[in-house]
Amino acid sequence: MAGKIQSLTEEERNHLLPLLRNAQWVEVVGRDAIYKEFIFKDFNQAFGFMSRVALQAEKMDHHPEWFNVYNKVQITLSTHDCGGLSQRDITLATFIDQASLM
């Protein structure tokens, strides 16, 4: 891991969070994190999605907190190292959205 990951600056938040909110990401109450729920046709789709995300997460070395029941996947993104949102969360969120559309 390269040096300590930086939390998002005020400016970046102001710029990026609206976009995420548009994409149905919501800010978690009580912590600096974003959350989204995905619903798929069936388990296979859901797990396929999760696999794609997992592979990407590994690549980025940044992992989501998530829960899965059958066709539903709930994801919370936050960066442990800085105790809040970082650029990685934004990048992963973007990827997750793309993956959910495949």
Summarize as ranges the residues that interact with other proteins (CB under 8 A): 42-45, 47-49, 51-52, 55-56, 59, 102
Nearer to other proteins, 33 or 50 (CB): 50
β-pairing verdict for 34-39 and 72-77: antiparallel
- State the maximum Cα–Cα separation within the chain, in Å, rounded to a whole number: 41
Q: Please, which residue, 7 or 91, has the CB nearer to other proteins?
A: 91
The single-letter DSSP state of residue 42 is S
Residue placing its CB nearer to other proteins in the complex, 7 or 45: 45
To the nearest whole angstrom, how small is the minimum distance from the Cβ of residue 51 to other proteins? 4
Q: Count how many Cα atoms sit within 13 Å of the Cα of residue 68 in the half-sphere of its side chain.
A: 16
